Amino acid sequence: MSPKESFGGQPDSTWIFLTFILPVLGLSSIVRGVHDLSHGGGWWTYVTGTFFLVVGGLICGVRLGAVWNHFARRRKVSR
């Protein structure tokens, strides 16, 4: 595995996008969707934003869990 790859074997830029940008994109879509809903439309924006937020949140949780386990194992070995 090259130094440019992260724990999951994917390029770092892909994981940065999936872990951080996707939830932010989801939140902004939800906010825009709620605004559009209050003006009589835009429920697709709300649904899409919710999907991005849920998927991005799951990916973020899995990634943070992997990092947490990695450092917990390293700390346990060093004792």
* For the chain, domain boundaries: 23-78
HSE (side-chain half, CA atoms, 13 Å) at 7:
11
* Overall pTM > 0.85: no
Which residue in 29, 20, 2 sits closest to 63, CA to CA?
20
User: Coil, strand or helix: which one is 75?
Assistant: helix
Q: Note the pLDDT tens digit of each residue in 43-71.
A: 888 788 888 888 888 888 888 888 888 88
Assigned token pair, 13 = 């830029």
In the prediction, which pLDDT does 53 show? Answer: 84
Q: How confident is the model at residue 9 (pLDDT cuts 50, 70, 90)?
A: low
Q: Who has greater pLDDT, 43 or 5?
A: 43
Token look-up 């999951």 returns: 8
What confidence category does residue 1 fall into, taking pLDDT thresholds of 50, 70 and 90?
very low
Radius of gyration of the CA atoms of the chain, in A = 17
